[in-house]
């Protein structure tokens, strides 16, 4: 089932015959700190794509396909299939005695609603590539606002992470504990909270600067792991973006 979801999200939009769509493209450095002791931050170039034709959407590195909803100028709602990467984990050489924990790709169901400049999104996603192999439940509430030439898109986020997820990324198995000469750690489920904002500044009608800043507070179960030395994950992106019609 998970591979069918990936196929639909990637290839179905190729058959769309929609015309005169607006698309935003860009590229910039993405930085994400790691809460693990001794593990370096992730620094990588990241494509930036924003597109929504009321059938298919791309929001940065997340893709989705609507199957039910309504879109108006001041009010819209929709259900969609969606998928996105999760940049978590570490290599076995990063933490002595531990096996590798890998980046995942998650997909599932999303519901979004927007009224004027306020929006709410709920998501239920599962691991599509056999990493933690469980469901994660996410919620985001945000508001669009302007200050001079700057546009801000602040939001508050919450993520309910199951015990399988916290065990995969923050747990220590019995075998790993024996290697390390420590006690095993099997955390239960937890709630991770976060805040973020996008900031956009236009240079011309088509060319703009885009910055994303985000901070996530780990659940208490993740923070109590012997592997972590920070309660927060900080991430951000800086990019030039170009918006056009095709």
Task: Supply the pLDDT for residue 14.
Answer: 44
Averaged pLDDT score across all residues of the chain: 91
At a CB cut-off of 8 Å and minimum separation 6, what does 186 contact?
163, 167, 171, 172
CA 21 to CA 10: how far, in whole Å? 18
| pTM, 2 dp | 0.88
Task: Supply the pLDDT for residue 185.
Answer: 97
Contact 127, 103 (CB under 8 A): no
Checking phi first, is residue 109 left (phi over 0); if not, alpha (psi -120 to 50) or beta? beta
Contact 74, 115 (CB under 8 A): yes
Write the pLDDT tens digit of every residue in 203-224. 999 999 999 999 999 999 999 9
Task: Supply the pLDDT for residue 150.
Answer: 97
Write the pLDDT tens digit of every residue in 32-63. 999 999 999 999 999 999 999 888 999 999 99
**Whats the size of the chain, residue-wise?**
246
pLDDT greater than 80 at residue 177: yes
Going from the C-alpha of 84 to that of each of 88, 134, 141, 147, 220, the distances in angstroms are: 13, 15, 19, 31, 25
For residue 74, name the pLDDT band (cuts at 50, 70, 90): confident
Write the pLDDT tens digit of every residue in 133-150. 899 999 999 999 999 999
Write the pLDDT tens digit of every residue in 96-132. 999 999 999 999 999 999 999 999 999 999 999 988 8
Task: Supply the pLDDT for residue 54.
Answer: 86
Write the pLDDT tens digit of every residue in 178-203. 998 889 999 999 999 999 999 999 99
Contact 85, 67 (CB under 8 A): no
Three-state DSSP class for residue 177: helix
Contact 118, 153 (CB under 8 A): no
For residue 19, name the pLDDT band (cuts at 50, 70, 90): low
Task: Supply the pLDDT for residue 73.
Answer: 80
């Amino acid at each position: 089932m998970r591979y069918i979801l990936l196929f639909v999200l990637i290839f179905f939009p190729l058959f769309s015959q929609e015309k005169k769509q607006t698309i935003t493209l860009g590229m910039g450095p993405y930085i994400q700190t790691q809460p693990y002791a001794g593990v370096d931050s992730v620094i990588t170039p990241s494509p930036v794509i924003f597109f929504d034709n009321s059938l298919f959407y791309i929001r940065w590195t997340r893709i989705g396909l609507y199957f039910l909803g309504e879109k108006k100028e001041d009010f819209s709602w929709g259900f969609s299939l969606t998928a996105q990467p999760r940049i978590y984990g570490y290599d076995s050489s990063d933490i002595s005695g531990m096996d590798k924990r890998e980046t995942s790709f998650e997909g599932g169901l999303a519901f979004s609603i927007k009224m004027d400049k306020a929006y709410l999104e709920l998501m239920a996603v599962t691991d599509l590539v056999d990493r933690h192999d469980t469901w994660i439940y996410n919620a985001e509430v945000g508001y669009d606002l302007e200050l001079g030439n700057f546009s801000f898109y602040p939001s508050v986020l919450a993520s309910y992470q199951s015990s399988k997820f916290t065990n995969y990324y923050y747990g220590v198995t019995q075998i790993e504990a024996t290697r390390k000469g420590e006690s095993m750690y099997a955390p239960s489920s937890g709630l991770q909270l976060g805040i973020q904002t996008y900031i956009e500044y236009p240079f011309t009608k088509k060319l703009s600067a885009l910055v994303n800043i985000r901070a996530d507070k780990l659940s208490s179960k993740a923070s109590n792991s012997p592997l972590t030395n920070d309660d927060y994950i900080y991430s951000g992106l800086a990019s030039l973006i170009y918006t056009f019609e095709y």
